[in-house]
């Protein structure tokens, strides 16, 4: 299944973005503040109207799909972790099963285990720390067993241990055939953990391809206005800025 954008434009935010994403990969969306990363992710989820172009899920216009079918295929984790009701962690995760119309107890238990939230299942969401709530919200997405996982800065509220665990969980999801699309600010995370990187700059697609090609020193200088170089071996690279 492909998730494809064809020339999508949203006034003052995105301009003529075209790309086709494949399942089984981790795709990182990178770029400076205001580049359009969150906007592109929301458009991929079908949550924004576009002024031109279209988003397609396996060649079908996303806008034409029934909401339930779209929600079964795409799990979206926004940057803001707002929860309207003070439900338990288990109840929050169970909301991920609503598009499927079933309890999905095994899927919920697996999602809680994957996010290290099983011991918090009975806890009210209001009692969680920021990082714990972020993991609970991710459990809700995983419980829905979507074919596409779209997450906006999912690492931001997590400590180092849980960041690494989350990256392992998302890699496992990709190996099982899901498409994983992440908005990422940390270029080292994108370089070391993504299969593909989309670089946005002022609403335009500045680069699209393998991390070593899209996050090279020339692109970083052009897009971020920073002189930098990579140290270390593949999968263990660190970005060093030049003084």
Helices (DSSP H) in 98-181: which residue ranges?
105-114, 130-143, 160-175
Residue 163 near residue 135, CB atoms below 8 Å: no
The label of the residue with tokens 């981790």 reads 26
Token duo for residue 76 = 């979206």
Cβ-based neighbours of 229, under 8 Å, separated by 6 or more: 217, 239, 240, 242
Give me the tens of pLDDT residue by residue for the chain, a chain 243 residues long. Answer: 789 999 999 999 999 999 999 999 999 999 999 999 999 999 999 999 999 999 999 999 998 999 999 999 999 999 877 787 889 999 999 999 999 999 899 999 999 999 999 999 999 999 999 889 989 999 999 999 999 999 999 998 889 999 999 999 999 999 999 999 999 999 999 999 999 999 999 999 999 999 999 999 999 999 999 999 999 998 899 999 876
Beta strands in the chain (DSSP E): 2-10, 14-22, 26-30, 52-57, 60-61, 74-77, 148-152, 179-183, 196-201, 204-209, 228-231, 238-241
Which residues face 50 on adjacent strands?
Answer: none
Please report, to the nearest 10 degrees, the dihedral formed by the alpha carbons of residues 123, 106, 69, 90 taken in order. Answer: 0
DSSP 8-state secondary structure symbol assigned to residue 200:
E
**DSSP state for residue 240 in the 8-state scheme:** E
Which domains are seen in the chain, by residue range?
Answer: 2-241 (3.40.50.300)
Instruction: Tell me the two tokens of residue 94.
Output: 């169970």
The two three-digit tokens of residue 16, written as one number = 């003529």
Cβ neighbourhood burial of 76 (10 Å; 0-12, 13-18, 19+): buried
Contacts of 93 (CB under 8 A, 6+ apart): 108, 111, 112, 117, 136, 139, 140, 143
Q: What is the predicted pLDDT for the residue at 243?
A: 60
Which pLDDT belongs to residue 79?
87
């Amino acid at each position: 299944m492909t998730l494809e954008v064809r020339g999508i434009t949203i006034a003052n935010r995105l301009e003529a973005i075209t790309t086709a994403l494949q399942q089984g990969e981790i795709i990182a969306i990178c770029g400076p503040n205001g580049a359009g990363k969150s906007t592109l992710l929301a458009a991929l989820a079908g949550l924004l109207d576009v002024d031109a172009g279209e988003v397609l899920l396996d060649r079908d216009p996303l806008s034409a799909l029934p909401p339930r079918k779209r929600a079964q295929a795409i799990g979206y984790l926004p940057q803001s972790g707002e929860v309207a009701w003070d439900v338990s962690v288990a109840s929050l995760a169970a909301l991920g099963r609503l598009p499927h119309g079933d309890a999905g107890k095994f899927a919920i238990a697996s999602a809680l285990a994957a996010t290290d939230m099983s011991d918090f299942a009975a806890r009210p969401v209001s009692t969680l720390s920021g990082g714990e709530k972020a993991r609970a919200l991710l459990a809700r997405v995983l419980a829905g067993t979507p074919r596409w996982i779209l997450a906006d800065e999912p690492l931001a509220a997590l400590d180092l241990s849980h960041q690494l665990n989350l990256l392992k969980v998302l890699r496992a999801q990709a190996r099982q055939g899901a498409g994983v699309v992440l908005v990422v600010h940390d270029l080292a995370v994108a370089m070391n953990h993504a299969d593909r990187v989309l670089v946005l700059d002022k609403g335009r697609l500045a680069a699209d391809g393998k991390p070593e090609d899209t996050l090279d020193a020339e692109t970083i200088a052009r897009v971020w206005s920073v002189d930098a170089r990579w140290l270390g071996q593949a999968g263990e690279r660190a970005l060093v800025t030049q003084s």
